[in-house]
Structure 1
Amino acid sequence: MDWLKRLPVVGPWAARLMATHAWRSYERLDRVKWTRLAAAMTFTSFVALFPLLSLAAAIAAATLSARQQDQLQDKIAEQVPGIADQLDIEGLVQNAGTVGLIAGALLLLTGIGWVDSTRGCLRAVWELPDEDENPVLHRAKDAGILVGLGGALLVTIAISTVASAMVGWIIRRLGMADGGFGGVLLYVAAFAVAVLADFLVLLYVLTLLPGAEPPRRRLVVAALLGAVGFELLKLLISGYMQGVAAKSMYGAFGVPVALLLWINFTSKLVLFCAAWTATGGKEEAGATGGVTGGGAPDPAAASGG
């Protein structure tokens, strides 16, 4: 796309854009066929989503009171319209043990597959070869990573939930209007707390899964970009589901289609963050040429700079 640099007016802006780290990261993504990688991550994530939801519903049904179960169903109806009507909370309460056991076993199998797929995609972004190790040990390590990531996600969900609940409690106690200046500041603070929680999870994902050690500055910037982007995508999908998906021409397929799109966008965001951590600076790119003539990965990028 060097021809863009030679265009009048647009050329200087294009030259500046192509000199940025973001553009070099995109070039890496284009080189490794990132749309295919995102499609693989989307499929495994979508498959693992249903046993995860089933397990969460079974645990909630077995531990919450009747009033809390009704509140949970109302909350699900607000966040994911079209799904709550299909939930049989009473049936889950009666069969919570069986449902939880089956969902947990399925989640373990699909979750290990998700870890393996995501690791392979992130290593592809780094242009690293597949790991050669004992299959049993490989699966055991994937299970450990899955448990660790699940624990990290639970912590982030708890932090985000507590922050949102505190915002609502403070607004009610002080009698502030939701759209007022003070209310907006509190919501911004809750958003910042959620971003911090996502940031910590992304640090885990971007280093442990690909088995890479990127420079600290690149890692922090990539995780921060990903955390902000993830929260914005959450707001987007929540608004879309409430206002469009459940009422669209897709009918019953509106919500699953929206979930697929959201997972795909999230997967692409994670891949971009991985490319950011794997892409060297201008000095490294100029010294190594990014990729050698034989298609070998940039040694500086592969070793973390």
Structure 2
Amino acid sequence: MVDHAVRTVEHYSELKGSLQAGAVTYFAMLSVFPILALAFFAVGWIARLYPDAEADLVTAVNNVLPGLIGNGDGQISLQTIKTSYATVGLLGLLGVLYAGLGWISAMRQALVLMFETPERKQLGFVPGKLRDLLSMVLVGTVLLVTVAISGFVSTYSADLLDWMGLGTDLSLLLKALTVLIGIAANMLLMWALFRLLADPALPSRSLWSGALVGALGFEVLKRLSSLLLAATKSSPAVQAFGIVLVLLVWINYTSQVILYAASWARTHPAARAVRDREAELAHVVEGPSVRLDPSLEESSGDGSRTRVAFAAGGASMLALMALVRRVVNRKD
């Protein structure tokens, strides 16, 4: 385990994972607010049929990005978004198309580099953007499902206990179950990111192991972010920049967790064993290279030159004999 962890850190450092995470953070930061705007635009219409939709969305968002929405200093006010649904929705759609596709592209490049995936045929601009759009939709769908599952369990855990007639005695057990479900959902999200964006040629065991590491790191970040918000409320920097500063740091750490998880999968013992076998097979197929003795090569070269000279001399002699015969015949 220690050896695996050391290999992971070395692999991450050699490929400059922190710089890759910075590029991913830029587009991820730009895409957060358009996605929120688009989500609340959709909820504004859904709320006409389902009045609790807004509250559920706020709960789901705070499960992923704790403390982002609220009425406190530096937080995003829900009422501000509600006052201009149409404009916010249009801007959100345009922002998602730009920043979201940029995030998908940056994350794909970072994961391909971290997994050391062989270079593939580059798509054109339009096919490439269509591929990124499809990947973004699939990743977004998985994210919505995971957030919905964890949000449902955490929101209705008390009601579930009452419905089962167990009371509050098992509340700690249910909280632990909520955390486990959240980790399982995060694990599915990490696996989807790896498979959809990079599609590395790794054993399933290695890929799921990396997804588990990423899920655990993501869950720890969610727990720590709540403590970070509580500890930095009185900080002058947070008061000046609001939740954006904390969100920027959180997204960067999340990006690093994803890339560390990819590095863990790449350096997994099962993945290294597969690469070693492939290297051995490639060596057997190619075979060892054989070099001739330089003296033999030189003698072979001398022999060929001798044969050429002999042929040239023979041809010259035949030509001379033909010329002499003509002269003799003319005299006769």
CA distance in 2, matches of 1:35, 1:94: 39
Per the alignment, do residues 172 and 249 of structure 1 end up closer, same or farther by CA in structure 2, a change over 3 Å counting? farther
Runs of 5+ in structure 2 lacking a partner? 277-281, 283-332
Moved more, 42-51 or 167-176: 167-176
Q: Is the 8 A contact 2:154 2:178 kept in 1?
A: yes
The runs of 4+ residues in structure 1 deviating greater than 6 Å are none
Where does structure 1 lack aligned partners over 5 or more consecutive residues? 1-15, 289-298, 300-305
Aligned to 2:153: 163
What is the TM-score of this pair, normalised by structure 2? 0.71
**Does the C-alpha gap of structure 1 residues 89 and 61 become closer, same or farther in structure 2, counting only changes over 3 Å?**
farther
Per the normalisation by structure 1, the TM-score is: 0.77
Q: Secondary structure at the match of 2:159?
A: helix
Equivalent of residue 264 in structure 2, options 263, 266, 276: 276
2: distance between equivalents of 1:280 and 1:68?
45
The percent of aligned pairs where both chains have the same amino acid is: 28
Which amino acid is 1:150 matched to? G
Distance 1:283 1:37 in 2: 23
- Aligned-partner Cα distance in 2 for 1:193–1:73: 19
- Which is further off, 276-285 or 52-61? 276-285
Secondary structure of residue in 2 paired with 1:80: coil
Cα distance 1:73–1:127, how it changes in 2: closer, same or farther (>3 A)?
closer
Q: 1:255 aligns with which of 222, 225, 243?
A: 243
Residue in 2 aligned with 1:106? 95
> 2:134 pairs with 130, 138, 144, which one?
144
- One-letter amino acid of the counterpart of residue 124, structure 2: N
Aligned to 2:31: 48
Structural RMSD (CA)? 3.2
Instruction: Report the residue type matching 2:211 in the other structure.
Output: A
**1:201 CA displacement:** 1.1
Q: Which has the larger radius of gyration?
A: 2
Residue correspondences, number: 269
Please give the per-residue CA displacement for 1:96-140, whole angstroms capped at 9, x wherever unaligned: 123212211211211111000001111111234665221211111
Offset at 1:248?
1.8
The answer (yes or no) to whether the contact 1:82–1:246 under 8 Å persists in 2 is: no
State the SS of the aligned residue for 1:212: coil
Does the CA-based 8 Å contact 2:37-2:81 persist in structure 1? no
**Does 1:207 find its partner at 2:190?**
no
- Residue type at the aligned position of 1:267: S
Give the Cα separation in 2 of the matches to 1:121 and 1:112: 14
The alpha-carbon distance between structure 1 residues 245 and 171, as it changes in their structure 2 partners (threshold 3 A), is farther
1:233 to 216, 221, 224: 221
